[in-house]
């Protein structure tokens, strides 16, 4: 949070209460919230907060490289304020949870293929869809119940 605040100042942006609240909220969660979710979360403490402000702030932070933006078609765009660099995501198709994968995902074949095509890689987005451990168990018991 400190670091983002400093960076905002350094770039000539004002450190308003709203911006600070959004930065804090992003830093406190692992849950990759959407703009709407953030807005609802902040509304109790900032009754005058508007969705437009959330969007504007998120866009500012993204341009600063402080958050990573993840677009989905199901539901809306989600934001990751803790890992602004490229990394892989595990996305549960049942509960919508997004977990981060910390290891380098690239196979050496893939790196080779990219290089062979002369492509200059800047960043990537790697989303893995499937079932998280919890939903597999829930699904299994649901199936069993249905079978009776």
Partner DNA sequence: CTAGATGCAAACTTTTTGCCAGCCA
Partner DNA sequence: TGGCTGGCAAAAAGTTTGCATCTAG
Q: Which of 85, 118, 145, 147 binds a copy of itself (CB under 8 A)?
A: 118
Residue 132 site contact among DNA, a copy of itself, none (CB < 5 to 8 Å, cut-off depends on kind): a copy of itself
Closer Cβ to a copy of itself, 65 or 130, answer by number: 130
Give the count of beta carbons closer than 10 Å to the beta carbon of residue 95.
12
Cα→Cα distances 120→7, 35, 117, Å: 28, 31, 9
Query: Binding to DNA by residue 53, rule CB under 7 A?
Result: yes
Between CA 18 and CA 106 the distance in angstroms is 38
Closer Cβ to DNA, 50 or 115, answer by number: 50
Between CA 96 and CA 99 the distance in angstroms is 10
Q: What number of CA atoms fall less than 13 Å from residue 6's CA on the CB side? A: 3
Taking residues 54 to 73 in sequence order and writing x for each that binds a copy of itself by CB under 8 A, - otherwise, the string is ---------------x-xxx
User: Which positions lie near DNA, rule CB under 7 A?
Assistant: 9, 12-19, 34-36, 46, 48-53, 55-57, 59, 71, 73, 75-77
């Amino acid at each position: 949070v400190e670091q983002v605040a400093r960076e905002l100042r350094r770039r000539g942006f004002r450190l308003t209460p709203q911006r600070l609240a959004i930065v804090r909220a992003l830093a406190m969660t692992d849950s990759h919230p959407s703009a709407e979710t953030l807005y609802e979360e902040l509304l109790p403490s900032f009754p005058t907060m508007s969705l437009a402000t959330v969007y504007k702030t998120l866009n500012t932070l993204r341009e600063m490289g402080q958050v990573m933006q993840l677009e989905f078609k199901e539901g809306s765009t989600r934001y990751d304020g803790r890992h602004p660099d490229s990394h892989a995501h595990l996305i549960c198709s049942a509960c919508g949870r997004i977990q981060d994968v910390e290891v380098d995902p690239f196979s050496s074949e893939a790196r080779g293929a990219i290089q062979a095509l002369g492509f200059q890689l800047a960043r990537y987005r790697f989303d893995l869809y499937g079932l998280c451990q919890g939903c597999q168990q829930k699904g299994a018991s649901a199936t069993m119940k249905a079978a009776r």
